[in-house]
């Protein structure tokens, strides 16, 4: 009997229960009518008289300990079930924060997609280029102001200086050097100019250059391609107009405007009350440029165009300050969640 009591005394602190039913089962098992402790009280009656005092004390201690442990377990399972009941499983979950594509990437991808439908493929070239590919082969005369230190970041200043490309037109040259016509490429990339950073200018920005060379490519093809692009990018109502311009690498050259998608041509502060927004430069590839890269200008003609990705994105979303694109403020970036 003594052994049984000491065994139970040792076991009691280790008893556990997962729910109300298990607590009740433990109570019945120990203190119920036929419970092991209750039975010990029956045995106690037959114990020798000289041990009764000590056994009685032990037995009472056991009963108290068992009752305490059962109460403790009962409280524990009650707290647990209250906590479980207070969880509202119909509440919306906490969404894990999700990244977004950068607005400039969204627009770049959109431009690529539009021209892919016209059969263009993506071409890339180095950001650190030589003077020849950025200027020389594109018919820039040696004294052209664009080569000036004030515009261009130079890496070296030898005979054919190494510099950071100031436009993606350099990729045209690389493509013409390596591909036989027909050439139909779109060249997205980063460009660099030594400009003071402001709401309208940055020293690093992005351009997309387009080039199409084949037999019988005409100015009408250029106009139609740009019109198609503008309608895909700015909506089916978009109109374009071409203003005569000058670039060393195209002849004739044009500046392309799209009808203002905000006021629909009526005039607003975005289009400065003209109804038109400038979106790109374009023109027929100058025969000198074709010849410089080994393309027969008697047989082939081509057109080229170049646009700023920041500018297209600003017009599309009415972003008024270019610097937003580079600051990576999530309050700005999160606004483009649905545009991906």
Q: Could you list the residues that contact ligand DAH (CB under 6 A)? A: 167, 169, 209, 247, 250, 281-283, 304-306
CA 186/CA 196 separation, integer angstroms:
28
258 CB contacts (<8 Å, ≥6 apart)? 230, 234, 238, 239, 240, 276, 277, 279, 315
Of 29 and 245, nearer to ligand DAH (C-beta) is: 245
Nearest distance in Å: CB 90, ligand DAH: 57
Question: Under a CB-based contact definition with an 8 Å cutoff, are residues 213 and 176 in contact?
Answer: yes
**β pairing state of 183-192 and 250-259:** unpaired
CA 295/CA 182 separation, integer angstroms:
11
Question: What residue number has its CB nearest to ligand DAH?
Answer: 306
Nearest distance in Å: CB 167, ligand DAH: 3
3-state secondary structure of 126: coil
Of 250 and 301, nearer to ligand DAH (C-beta) is: 250
Of 169 and 259, nearer to ligand DAH (C-beta) is: 169
Of 41 and 132, nearer to ligand DAH (C-beta) is: 132
**β pairing state of 204-214 and 276-285:** unpaired
Q: Nearest Cα to 302, choosing from 193, 182, 208? A: 182
Q: Nearest Cα to 187, choosing from 120, 128, 117? A: 120
Nearest distance in Å: CB 304, ligand DAH: 3
Of 247 and 336, nearer to ligand DAH (C-beta) is: 247
Nearest distance in Å: CB 137, ligand DAH: 13
Lookup result for tokens 């080569």: 147
Nearest distance in Å: CB 283, ligand DAH: 4
Nearest distance in Å: CB 250, ligand DAH: 4
Of 58 and 164, nearer to ligand DAH (C-beta) is: 164
CA 253/CA 140 separation, integer angstroms:
14
């Amino acid at each position: 009997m003594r052994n049984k009591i000491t065994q139970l005394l040792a076991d009691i602190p280790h008893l556990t229960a997962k729910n109300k039913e298990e607590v009740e089962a433990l109570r019945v098992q120990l203190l119920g009518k036929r419970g092991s402790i209750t039975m010990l009280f029956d045995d106690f009656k037959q114990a020798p008289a000289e041990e009764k005092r000590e056994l009685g004390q032990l037995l009472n201690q056991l009963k108290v300990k068992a009752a305490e442990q059962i109460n403790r377990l009962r409280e524990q399972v009650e707290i647990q079930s209250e906590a479980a009941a207070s969880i509202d499983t119909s509440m919306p979950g906490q969404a894990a924060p999700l990244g977004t594509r950068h607005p400039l990437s969204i627009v770049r991808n959109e431009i690529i997609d539009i021209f892919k439908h016209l059969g263009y493929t993506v071409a890339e070239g180095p950001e650190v280029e030589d003077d020849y590919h950025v200027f020389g082969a594109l018919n820039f005369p040696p004294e052209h102001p664009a080569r000036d230190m004030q515009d261009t970041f130079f890496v070296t200043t030898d005979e054919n200086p190494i510099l950071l490309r100031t436009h993606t037109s350099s990729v045209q040259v690389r493509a013409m050097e390596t591909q036989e016509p027909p050439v139909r490429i779109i060249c997205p990339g980063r460009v660099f100019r030594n400009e003071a950073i402001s709401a309208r200018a940055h020293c690093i920005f992005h351009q997309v250059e387009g080039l199409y060379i084949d037999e019988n490519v005409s100015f009408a093809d250029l106009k139609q391609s740009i019109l198609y692009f503008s309608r895909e990018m700015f909506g089916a109502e978009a109109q374009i107009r071409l203003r005569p311009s000058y670039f060393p690498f195209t002849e004739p050259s044009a500046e392309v405007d799209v009808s203002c998608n905000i006021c629909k041509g009526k005039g607003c502060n975005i289009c400065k009350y003209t109804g038109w927004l400038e979106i790109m430069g374009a023109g027929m590839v100058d025969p000198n440029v074709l010849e410089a890269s080994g393309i027969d200008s008697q047989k082939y003609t081509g057109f080229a165009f170049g646009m700023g990705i920041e500018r297209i994105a600003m017009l599309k979303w009415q972003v008024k300050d270019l610097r937003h694109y580079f600051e990576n403020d999530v309050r700005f970036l999160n606004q483009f969640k649905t545009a991906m």
